[in-house]
């Protein structure tokens, strides 16, 4: 454990060599106090005192016979890896919409027919249209979005007849994430460009 340094390792080795258990325990407490002073950030952790004793055992290679105030850590438990997080490996059918759209469609498909479901479909369609315009082209027909909803839901979500989406403002801008960060050059280069010109102007 590099945060404690080689001197602590040497101390622990000397403690292990003490034949009397009571004396080993006494010296082990002294080493733990040294470890605490060398690694003060350990105080930010819960049960930090127990963690220091655990670290002492780890430095000793778990081969330390003392009367510790805490249970001796088990190497198999300390060194065990966390359980892997299950990942959804199912391919995304429409990448420009994302995987969450499919999850939302699953939710909507389970809703009973009525005004609430229609409102959910309309809100989803508006969002899907925005995502479509970000990654594809400047215009898209509402019917295209409605067809995508029914296709991605495998026809379990039917768009009500006569459903209309709100109009897109003529000055609406749908930019890809990470673009238009406002630090280009020129007179329209954003805040950074304007500030650069002002500072450089004599």
Among 37, 69, 77, residue whose Cα is nearest residue 53:
69
How many Å apart are CA 34 and CA 31, to the nearest integer? 5
pLDDT surpasses 90 at 41: no
pTM: 0.43
Count of C-beta atoms within a 10 Å radius of residue 70? 14
Q: 198 by DSSP, 3-state: which?
A: helix
Tally of CB atoms within 10 A around 150: 14
**What b-and-e string marks burial along 173-198, b requiring 16 or more CB atoms within 10 Å of the CB?**
eeeeeeeeeeeeeeeeeeeebeeeee
The least confident of 16-20, 45-49, 174-178, 181-185 is 181-185
Q: Report yes or no: 146 and 155 within 8 Å, Cβ to Cβ.
A: no
pLDDT in tens, 72-114: 888 877 777 777 777 656 666 677 777 788 889 989 999 999 9
């Amino acid at each position: 454990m590099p945060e404690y340094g080689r001197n602590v390792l040497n101390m622990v080795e000397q403690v292990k060599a003490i034949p009397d258990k009571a004396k080993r325990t006494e010296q082990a407490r002294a080493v733990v106090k040294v470890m605490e002073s060398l690694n003060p950030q350990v105080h930010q952790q819960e049960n930090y005192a127990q963690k220091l004793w655990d670290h002492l055992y780890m430095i000793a290679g778990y081969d330390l016979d003392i009367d510790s105030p805490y249970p001796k850590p088990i190497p198999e438990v300390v060194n065990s890896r966390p359980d892997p997080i299950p990942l959804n490996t199912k391919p995304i059918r429409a990448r420009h919409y994302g995987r969450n759209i499919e999850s939302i469609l699953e939710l909507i498909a389970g809703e009973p027919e009525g005004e609430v479901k229609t409102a959910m479909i309309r809100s989803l369609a508006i969002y899907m249209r925005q995502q479509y315009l970000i990654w594809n082209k400047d215009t898209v027909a509402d019917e295209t979005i409605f067809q995508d909803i029914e296709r991605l839901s495998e026809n379990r979500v039917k768009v009500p007849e006569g459903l209309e989406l709100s109009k897109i403002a003529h000055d609406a801008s749908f930019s890809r994430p990470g673009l238009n960060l406002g630090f280009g050059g020129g007179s329209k280069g954003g805040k950074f460009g304007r500030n650069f010109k002002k500072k450089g102007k004599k």
